[in-house]
Amino acid sequence: MNSTRFPREALGTRCDVRPDRSAAAFFGRFLLAICGLAIPVITGCQVDVGGQTLPSPYYLQDDIQYFPAGPEFKLSKEAAALKAHEEELAEDCETCR
């Protein structure tokens, strides 16, 4: 079985020696890490840090939605209508007497 093949020692290589791939592996991992960090920065996604929702990098270009403060008492129109109705009833009762 060995007679048809060349022994590894005859070719000048040893079985336990591998080519140096550590630099290539490091570069590949480094490139993967850079791409993994660059994608969220480029896309501008929101991030939740310490309970705060931080905006995307494009929040300065967004149009502002401003909602003015309304009245503290939400039913002011209904309260005014009830008061007017009670005054009207009071006037009617005074005229009945």
21 within a domain of the structure (yes/no)? yes
88 within a domain of the structure (yes/no)? yes
Query: What is the pLDDT at residue 14?
Result: 56
Query: What is the pLDDT at residue 85?
Result: 94
Full residue range of the structural domain in which residue 51 is found: 9-62+73-96
Instruction: Name the domain count of the chain.
Output: 1
* Encoded tokens for 58: 């494009």
87 within a domain of the structure (yes/no)? yes
Residue 56 DSSP label: P
**Taking a C-beta distance cutoff of 8 angstroms, is the pair 44, 56 a contact?**
yes
Residue 49 DSSP label: E
34 within a domain of the structure (yes/no)? yes
**Per-residue confidence band for 53, with pLDDT thresholds at 50, 70 and 90:** confident
Say which residue, 96 or 17, is predicted with more confidence: 96
1 within a domain of the structure (yes/no)? no
67 within a domain of the structure (yes/no)? no
55 within a domain of the structure (yes/no)? yes
Q: Tell me the CA end-to-end span of the chain in Å, nearest whole number.
A: 130
Q: Which helix (H) or strand (E) holds 82?
A: helix 76-96
Residues 6+ away with beta carbon under 8 Å from 56: 44, 45, 46
3 within a domain of the structure (yes/no)? no
* Encoded tokens for 13: 């290589």
Beta bridge partners of 54: 47
Return the closest-CA partner of residue 46 out of 32, 34, 56.
Answer: 56
